[in-house]
C-alpha cells in the first residue's frame, strides 16, 4: 500500500475486555504519483523492486572465519572437572 510520508494518526479504542488499545494508522494516497509503484500499477506497468536475497553479513562472516578454531569435544570423550575428577551427570527436575 502506498502511503504519504506524514505523521501517523493514533486512534484510541478498547479491546473486548475493556482495556485501552491504540491503533497507529496513516492516510492512504488518493492519487498516483508518476514514478511510484502505485502509478505503474494504475497504468498497466510492472513495478519491480530490487531486493538483495543474500542476507549474509559478509563483514561478520569474514571476522568469524578468521577466529582460531578449537576442536569440538567428541560425544564419547570423558569429561572431567579442573581437578581431574569425572563429572557427575546433571539431573533435571525434582530429586
The pLDDT tens digits along the chain (95 residues) read 455 555 678 889 999 999 999 998 877 667 778 888 888 888 999 888 777 777 788 899 899 888 887 777 666 655 556 666 666 666 666 65
Q: What is the pLDDT of residue 18?
A: 93
HSE at residue 77, side-chain half, CA atoms within 13 A, is: 7
Q: What is the pLDDT of residue 83?
A: 67
In the chain, where the domains are located: 1-45
pTM: 0.30
Q: What is the pLDDT of residue 44?
A: 92
Give CA separation, 35 vs 51, 64, 95, in Å. Answer: 18, 42, 69
Strand partners, 9: 25
Amino acid at each position: 500500500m502506498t502511503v504519504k510520508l506524514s505523521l501517523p494518526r493514533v486512534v484510541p479504542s478498547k479491546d473486548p475486555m475493556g482495556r485501552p488499545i491504540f491503533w497507529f494508522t496513516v492516510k492512504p494516497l488518493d492519487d498516483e504519483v508518476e514514478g511510484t509503484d502505485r502509478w505503474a500499477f494504475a497504468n498497466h506497468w510492472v513495478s519491480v523492486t530490487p531486493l538483495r536475497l543474500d542476507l549474509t553479513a559478509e563483514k561478520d562472516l569474514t571476522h568469524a572465519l578468521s577466529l582460531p578454531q578449537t576442536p569440538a569435544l567428541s560425544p564419547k570423550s570423558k569429561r572431567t572437572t579442573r581437578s581431574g575428577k569425572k563429572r557427575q551427570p546433571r539431573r533435571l527436575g525434582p530429586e
